[in-house]
Amino acid sequence: MQPISGTPGWWRCRRGSRTGAALLIGAVLLGVTACGGGADAADGSGRNGGKGGEVDTRPSRAELKIAPKDGAKGVDTSGEFEVTVTKGRLTSVEVADSDGKAVDGRITKGGTVWKPSRHLQTSTKYTVDAVAKDADGRRAAEHASFTTLDPKATFIGYFTPEDGSEVGVGMPVSIRFSRGITDPGAVEKGIEVTASPSVPIEGHWFGNDRLDFRPEEYWKPGTKVTLKLALDGVEGRPGVYGKQAKTVKFTIGRSQVSVVDAKSKKMTVERDGKVIKKIPITSGSPSNPTYNGQMVISEKYRVTRMNGETVGFDDEYDIKDVPHAMRLSTSGTFIHGNYWAGQWTFGRQNASHGCVGLFDARGGGDKSTPAAWFFRNSMIGDVVEVKNSKDKKIQPDNGLNGWNMDWDEWKADQ
C-alpha cells in the first residue's frame, strides 16, 4: 500500500493487494465468531450452548442440598453431615476444616449422595462447596459452612509404648481410656496401627476401658510401628467425645526371650535365636508359686520398694531397696535382684512370694551380679516366659500379656 497524494492518513492498494485485504477482513470476522460462541458452542450439540450456538440460560434442574444447613452450630460429629442431589448427579464436593485441611469423602448411590469417610472433629468450622449437573449438563452449585459441637464431657487414651522408643519383640500397643467405652466399634475405627514391614495386626478389648493391638506372633526385629489416634469427635459413650489426634511411632529392637524353668530353677536367655546366658534363679515358693506363661517387661527400676501389703501379703515383707526390678504383671510379679537370700538359694530353692529372683548385691552397685547383667541387657517389651511352675497361666490382661491368648480368640468379637 502507498499513501494517496495530498490526502494524509488515506492509503491506496497496490496491484495484487486486494486479495490480502479480503483475507484480513475474513480473519477478523472469524475471530469474532469464535469468541462469541464460547467453548460449549463448538460441539454443535446444543447442550450448554443452546441451538445454533446460543447460550442456554435456563437454570439447572439439579437440586443440591447440604445438611446441616448453612450457618448451623453444635453439629454432631457423626451421621449428620451429607450432600445430596435430586434430578442430577454430583460432580464435585470439596470440604475443608478451619485450618484448610481437606476432608475425605465418597460419592455413592449413583452419584446422588456424598458423605465424609470418617467422623468430624469437635469445635471445628467446616466449609462445603458442591457442584452437580442435570441431564442436559447444566450446572448447579451450593456453598455452606457449619460448626461442630463443643463437647461437655471428653475422653482420651493413655498409650504405651512411648513415641520414639525402641522396645522388645513382645511389646503390644496398649491404650487405656480415661472413661469406660460403650461404643467400642466407633472408638476402634478412630485408631489405626500399622507396621513396616507390613504384618496383620488385630485389636482386642479388655473390659470397656482398655484396647490392645498385636500381631499373631512376636514382632520381627527392626519393625517400625505407627499408632494413629484420630479420636477427636468420636462419641465413645453417650455425650462423651474423644479429644485426641496424635501419631506415635516406635521401633522393635533385637529379639530377646528369656525362659524361666521353675522346676530346674534356671533361666535361659535367648537373643536373636541364640542362647547367650544361663542364670540360676529362685521363683515362687510352693505356697506362693509364680505364674506360668509369657510375660512382657513393662517397667524397669534400678531400685524400688516392695511392700507385701500392696499385693495382698499383709506385712509379710517390706523391702525398701529391691535392686534391678522389672515388672512382669499388674498384680505385682517382677523379675528382680535379690540380696537377702543366700547365694546358695539360686538354682536350688524356690523361695519367693511369686517373683523371679536373681542373685544381686545390696544397692545394686555391683555390675558383675547376674541381676545387674540381666537388667543391663533387657529392655521394655522383652519377653520372660515361665514354665513348669505349679501355678496357673497368667491372665492376658494382667500386664501386657496378651500373648497368652490364642490368636483366634484374640480376634474374636467381644
The helix/strand/coil state of 1 is coil
Dist CA 392 CA 407 (whole Å):
20
Separation of alpha carbons 233 and 248, rounded Å: 19
Catalytic residue among 119, 204, 324, 336: 336
Catalytic residue among 204, 324, 353, 355: 355
Which residues, at least 6 apart from 369, have a Cβ–Cβ distance to it below 8 Å? 337, 358, 359, 360, 361
Cα distances (Å, whole numbers) of residue 354 to 133, 182, 262, 381, 387: 73, 36, 11, 21, 13
CA angle 141, 146, 147 (to 5 degrees): 160
Q: Are 356 and 283 in contact (CB under 8 A)?
A: yes
Answer yes or no: 355 catalytic: yes
Q: How far is CA 31 from CA 28, 38, 54, in A?
A: 5, 12, 17
In the sheet with 235-237, reading across from the earlier edge strand, the strands are 153-155, 240-242, 235-237
Instruction: Identify the CA nearest to 353 among candidates 292, 398, 312, 401.
Output: 312
Express the helix, strand and coil content of the chain in percent, nearest 5 each: 15, 40, 45
Residue 160: count of CB within 10 angstroms of its CB: 21
Is 324 one of the annotated active-site residues of the chain?
no
The dihedrals phi and psi of 345, each to the nearest 5 degrees, come to -65, -40
For residues 169 and 255, is the Cβ–Cβ distance under 8 A? yes
| DSSP class of 393 | B
In angstroms, the CA 386 to CA 264 distance is: 11
Give the active site residues. Answer: 336, 355
